[in-house]
Amino acid sequence: MALRIDGKAVAAKVKARAAEETAALKERGIVPGLAVVIVGSDPASRVYVNNKKKACQETGIYSEEYALPEETTQEELLALVDRLNKKPKISGILVQSPLPKGLEESALVEAIDPQKDVDAFHPYNVGKLMQGRQIFLPCTPAGVIELLHSAGVEIAGKDCVVIGRSDIVGKPMAMLLMQNNGTVTVCHSRTRELSDICRRADILVSAVGKAGFVTGDMIKPGAAVIDVGMNRDENGKLCGDVVFAEAEKIAGCITPVPGGVGPMTIAMLMQNTVTAAKLQNGIGRN
């Protein structure tokens, strides 16, 4: 049976570290602050945003939430981002995706001050990541790397397969695995012989968004299986991309959903908010 990686426990450690740093900053009169902007009433987004708020409370990070109606215009959002860019109390800005139709996400992300871009979605930060000179690590992929470390999985020299090539998960995930000296293959909807490629992976990361996508026969015995997917099954229950019951019999270690990557995303966001506050106050990392 595979080792079940406890994302909640690892996230608690990351948050504890962020809380310590926050306390130290507060002694110097600096309070890290996060602004979360959510537009419309997507129920899943609501849950994530509430989790982010709770994490801020746990770590002592100041937070502001802007819950805006579905009808909000691009101009109104841009004006809000501009205000938050200039607001000293705010170290980090996150615009929750997806946005309602008609709003242009990329223009909004580009309007965020790169020094406050705690998601690391701004093209400046994406470029920095490509060069391995990033100031912020992308939260979900960085969370995955932490989980692998926590389970004692070595990345260097390993065959890593990422399923999914989105800007927010797949691509930055591949980049971070490469930075950690993995040999990375990225698969997507046009990939041929996907199962065969997956079966060669020592580390398999699934970020597809389809329940039941990764079956036991796609997993190499002993592999590390990381499930980024957040889906609802036919009963409305939260589940990942991986058929967990099959995979845990074959994998060496595996992350569950819930309780795997999700909590790590939020913990890394707290870490990035602390980093942002330090940066804006001329304090180097560590």
Ligand X SMILES: NC(=O)C1=CN([C@@H]2O[C@H](COP(=O)(O)OP(=O)(O)OC[C@H]3O[C@@H](n4cnc5c(N)ncnc54)[C@H](OP(=O)(O)O)[C@@H]3O)[C@@H](O)[C@H]2O)C=CC1
Ligand Y SMILES: Nc1nc(=O)c2c([nH]1)NC[C@@H]1CN(c3ccc(C(=O)N[C@@H](CCC(=O)O)C(=O)O)cc3)C=[N+]21
Residues marked active site are found at 52, 96, 119
91 is in an annotated binding site: no
Query: Is 269 a residue that touches ligand X (CB under 6 A)?
Result: no
164 is in an annotated binding site: yes
Query: Is 124 a residue that touches ligand Y (CB under 6 A)?
Result: no
The neighbouring-strand residues paired with 36 are 65, 94
| DSSP codes, 90-150 | --EEEEPSSPPTT--HHHHHHHS-GGG-TT--SHHHHHHHHHT--SS--HHHHHHHHHHHH
* Contacted by 190, from ligand Y, ligand X, none: CB < 5 to 8 Å by type: ligand X
Q: Which is nearer to ligand Y, 55 or 161 (CB)?
A: 55
Retrieve residue 64's tokens. Answer: 């502001």
Asked if 228 and 140 touch (Cβ cutoff 8 Å), the reply is: yes
Window 107-146: contact mask with ligand X (x via CB under 6 A): ---------------------------------x------
Query: Is 168 a residue that touches ligand X (CB under 6 A)?
Result: yes
Per-residue 3-state assignment (H helix, E strand, C coil) for 18-86? HHHHHHHHHHCCCCCEEEEEEECCCHHHHHHHHHHHHHHHHHCCEEEEEEECCCCCHHHHHHHHHHHHH
φ/ψ of 213, rounded to 5, equals -70, -45
Query: Is 242 a residue that touches ligand Y (CB under 6 A)?
Result: no
Query: Is 4 a residue that touches ligand Y (CB under 6 A)?
Result: no
> Considering only 66-74, 92-100, 175-183, 206-214, which stretch makes contact with ligand Y by CB under 6 A?
92-100
Query: Is 228 a residue that touches ligand X (CB under 6 A)?
Result: yes
Which residue is at the shortest CB distance from ligand Y? Answer: 262
Own/partner contacts of 123-129, CB < 8 Å, gap of 24 or more, are 126/167, 126/172, 129/172, 129/175, 129/176
Query: Is 231 a residue that touches ligand Y (CB under 6 A)?
Result: no
92 is in an annotated binding site: no
Q: What's the rounded Cα separation, in Å, for the pair 55 and 78?
A: 26
Block residue for tokens 């971070």: 176
> Considering only 95-103, 155-163, 189-197, 212-220, which stretch makes contact with ligand Y by CB under 6 A?
95-103
> Considering only 82-90, 145-153, 215-223, 257-265, which stretch makes contact with ligand Y by CB under 6 A?
257-265
- Give the number of other Cβ atoms within 10 Å of residue 222's Cβ: 11
Could you list the residues that contact ligand X (CB under 6 A)?
A: 140, 163-166, 168-170, 187-191, 194, 207-209, 228-231, 261-262, 265
Residues flagged as binding site: 164-166
Interface positions with ligand Y (CB under 6 A): 47-48, 51, 94-97, 119, 139, 230, 238, 257-259, 262-263, 265-266
